[in-house]
Amino acid sequence: MTPNPGLLPLLAERDPDAPLAWRAGVPLSTRQFLADVARLAPQLPAQGAAVNLCSDRYDFIVGMAAALVRGHASLLPPDARADTLSRLRESHGDGLFALVDDPALQTPGMARLVIEKAAGPAPGDAGGGADTAAVPMIDAERHAASLLTSGSTGAPQPHAKTWRTLTGDVAVAVERLCRVLDLPSLAGLTLVATVPVQHSYGLESSVLLAMLGGAAFDSGRPFFPADVAQALASVPRPRALVTTPFHLKTLLLSGIALPEVDLILSATAPLSPQLAAQAEQALHGVLLEIYGSTESGQVAMRRTTETEVWETFGEIRVHAEPGGEDGNERFIFSGDFLPEPTPMADVLELLDERRFRLFGRANDLIHVAGRRSSLAHLNYHLNSIPGVDDGAFWLPDEVADGVVRPIAFVVAPELTAAVIVAALRQRLEPVFVPRRVVHVKSFPREGTGKLTVRALREFALAQLAEDGTPVRLLHTVPVDHPAFAGHFPGQPLLPGALVLAEVQEAIRRVPALLARLGAHPTLAAAKFLAPVRPGAVLAIELNPEASGGGVRFDVRCDGVVAVTGRWTPVAESPR
């Protein structure tokens, strides 16, 4: 009988009694997985989409597979916070239902189904006569999952994937992994992942790589180094560690004895050659980096200790075309499992249509004193300094003497700022060497180890405000601001009250200043010295006072002070 080309299997061909997953060292067979899916699918509602909030990888994939069998898409939010779920309801309607494996997790306004950790049939048991080893076939064009990433507004942005796209995405990665490892298949390989399964990389390189590539996976998500070592030791070899540069560096710095692995996969940020070599030496495995995005899935790979050049998977090709928002080239990936040409938010150097070097995010490029670099490049050199446990460059809005000056934040308890600056002078052009290095205890990284632009900005402003450092922010006045219509014909200017409102908004964006002044500060003094015209760029400088808890401010337009004054947490007599 000819297979239906419109259907694709839920699982790759495999021994039904071989482990698909491991939970705390106990194997869970493919047969048991299929029985658990068959048991759960009829319990799902007839309509709607599943919001999969399971933290255990086995529970997660039982829920996702049951939803596929039932005909539902799975929505994968980055977290289970109440405001995230509320935004999902606003954008997708009231037909959503949540799949959870923690009975204590609440989902306000959303029906909830708790996935029980059922025992399932014993190996070799056909489950009362039913063929529990029969693999369901899924419509290849079915909307299988929507990965939800938080945009700049904080609202989850969906990236829909069909089952054909997910299957093709994994297939090209399996082919490359088998070639690099010189293996006929991934059968017998067990994956231990530190990344959340709701993230595109965590989904592709843990549960889907096992389901569609013949491997197995550990059901947990170890975070602390001791937990990672324990999880690796609990599964047989050959085994792989699926991780990120941040998690990998934390693991290697811990000093904990680590079990040997056969493969290390890393993604979410470029890895330094030094850290890659250190990881291969400590774990005795081959380290491969994966390049991709939520929109495209994984599209390229490199072995970092051998080359800086990335090579695309399968028949994927990349080309450059003009038309980026900043006037620069865009780099478009197309072919193979990609349903349509997909642009990347990165700057690449193309060697040919399948090989490239990665320079960093397009919105990561910075200009200092006429020179161009990327924050990723600066962070790479900062984190390559021995003794720097974690570090990040930040470029403030501040303009001093016409030159923006970068600041380096570091977790480096044994190093002084002078030592770090001296090391950076050996690695960077002089204009990018920071004038200031700020020591911090940790960074507000996400579960994948990523440090978002927004989180770093808020963190940096808070750190600088805590030690009394002036905080400087920029705001561009819209040329079509409605206030200009009445103030004044022929000579439009922004009313002083609106300038003060922008100062208040700037204070709200700095947690340390907001805590200092409270939600309703008092305007103790204000002087209006120059007009603010349409299109003006306001440089707002906030200076925490050494005593009294007040904050002085200056608002400059083209270097000229337009407004100056002072806010206090309590009412004072105006001067």
CA quadruple 240, 14, 21, 120: dihedral, nearest 10: -170
- Rounded to whole angstroms, how far apart are CA atoms 327 and 323? 6
Do the Cβ atoms of 173 and 204 come closer than 8 Å? yes
480 with 462, same domain: the answer is no
485 with 561, same domain: the answer is yes
Q: Find the DSSP H helices in 53-153.
A: 57-70, 82-92
What per-residue confidence (pLDDT) applies to 62? 96
Q: 453-502: per-residue pLDDT in tens?
A: 778 887 888 787 766 667 777 788 888 777 777 777 777 888 888 899 88
Angle among Cα 28, 32, 35 to the nearest 5 degrees reads: 155
> Would 132 be classed as within a structural domain?
no
Largest CA distance in the chain: 91
> Would 334 be classed as within a structural domain?
no
528 with 458, same domain: the answer is no
- Rounded to whole angstroms, how far apart are CA atoms 294 and 202? 11
What mean pLDDT do residues 262-275 have? 87
| Greater model confidence, 459 or 38 | 38
Whole-number Cα distances in Å, 420 to 55, 386, 404: 39, 10, 20
Per-residue pLDDT at 572 exceeds 70: no
What mean pLDDT do residues 21-27 have? 94
Element (H, E) at 348: strand 346-350
Band (435; pLDDT cuts 50, 70, 90) = confident
State which of 405, 432, 466 marks the end of a domain.
466
What per-residue confidence (pLDDT) applies to 120? 47
- Rounded to whole angstroms, how far apart are CA atoms 572 and 569? 9
490 with 564, same domain: the answer is yes
Per-residue pLDDT at 504 exceeds 90: no
Q: How far is CA 554 from the centre of its chain?
A: 36
What mean pLDDT do residues 75-87 have? 85
> Would 318 be classed as within a structural domain?
no
Band (128; pLDDT cuts 50, 70, 90) = very low
Per-residue pLDDT at 263 exceeds 80: yes
Per-residue pLDDT at 378 exceeds 50: yes
Per-residue pLDDT at 523 exceeds 60: yes
What per-residue confidence (pLDDT) applies to 431? 85
Beta-carbon contacts of 315 under 8 Å, excluding residues fewer than 6 positions away, are 335, 336
| Greater model confidence, 573 or 434 | 434
483 with 544, same domain: the answer is yes
Q: Decide: helix, strand or coil at residue 367.
A: strand
452 with 509, same domain: the answer is no
Picking from 100, 101, 44, 102, the residue whose alpha carbon sits closest to that of residue 73 is: 44
- Rounded to whole angstroms, how far apart are CA atoms 203 and 74? 12
476 with 564, same domain: the answer is yes
- Rounded to whole angstroms, how far apart are CA atoms 88 and 155? 8
519 with 455, same domain: the answer is no
| Count of C-beta atoms within a 10 Å radius of residue 95 | 13
Q: Decide: helix, strand or coil at residue 408.
A: strand
State which of 444, 466, 488 marks the end of a domain.
466
- Rounded to whole angstroms, how far apart are CA atoms 138 and 118? 24
What per-residue confidence (pLDDT) applies to 398? 54
Do the Cβ atoms of 292 and 300 come closer than 8 Å? yes
Percent of the chain with pLDDT over 70: 90
> Would 461 be classed as within a structural domain?
yes
- Rounded to whole angstroms, how far apart are CA atoms 132 and 112? 26
458 with 493, same domain: the answer is no
Where residue 422 sits, what CATH number does that domain have?
A: 3.30.300.30
What per-residue confidence (pLDDT) applies to 202? 92
Q: 223-259: per-residue pLDDT in tens?
A: 899 999 999 999 999 999 999 988 998 899 888 999 9
What mean pLDDT do residues 46-51 have? 90
Q: What is the pTM of this model?
A: 0.72
Element (H, E) at 165: helix 163-181
- Rounded to whole angstroms, how far apart are CA atoms 140 and 3? 13
563 with 475, same domain: the answer is yes
Band (121; pLDDT cuts 50, 70, 90) = very low
Structural domains of the chain, count: 2
476 with 560, same domain: the answer is yes
438 with 514, same domain: the answer is no
> Would 436 be classed as within a structural domain?
yes
The overall average pLDDT reported for the chain is: 85
Band (21; pLDDT cuts 50, 70, 90) = very high
Question: Tokens standing for 263?
Answer: 């493969």
Q: 131-176: per-residue pLDDT in tens?
A: 566 899 999 999 999 988 654 334 557 889 999 999 999 999 999 9
> Would 487 be classed as within a structural domain?
yes
Per-residue pLDDT at 95 exceeds 60: yes
What per-residue confidence (pLDDT) applies to 125? 46
Question: Tokens standing for 3?
Answer: 């297979």
What per-residue confidence (pLDDT) applies to 3? 56
Q: Long-range contacts made by residues 299-302, C-beta under 8 angstroms, separation at least 24?
A: 299/333, 299/338, 300/356, 301/173, 301/176
Question: Tokens standing for 372?
Answer: 């161009």
What mean pLDDT do residues 77-82 have? 84
**HSE, side-chain direction, 13 A CA sphere, residue 357:** 6
State which of 450, 466, 482 marks the end of a domain.
466
Per-residue pLDDT at 324 exceeds 80: no
Tell me: cis bond preceding 196? Omega within 30 of 0 counts.
Answer: no
> Would 229 be classed as within a structural domain?
no
> Would 148 be classed as within a structural domain?
no
Per-residue pLDDT at 1 exceeds 50: no
User: Which of the residue ranges 29-38, 280-289, 466-475, 540-549 would you say has the lowest mean pLDDT?
Assistant: 466-475
Domain that holds residue 497: 471-568
Percent of the chain with pLDDT over 90: 45
User: Which of the residue ranges 33-42, 90-99, 110-119, 236-245 would you say has the lowest mean pLDDT?
Assistant: 110-119
Band (275; pLDDT cuts 50, 70, 90) = confident
Backbone dihedral angles phi then psi of residue 472, each to the nearest 5 degrees: -120, 130
Strands 286-293 and 263-266, by their bridges, are parallel
Where residue 515 sits, what CATH number does that domain have?
A: 3.10.129.10
What mean pLDDT do residues 563-568 have? 90
Q: How far is CA 211 from the centre of its chain?
A: 24
User: Which of the residue ranges 16-25, 48-57, 131-140 would you say has the lowest mean pLDDT?
Assistant: 131-140
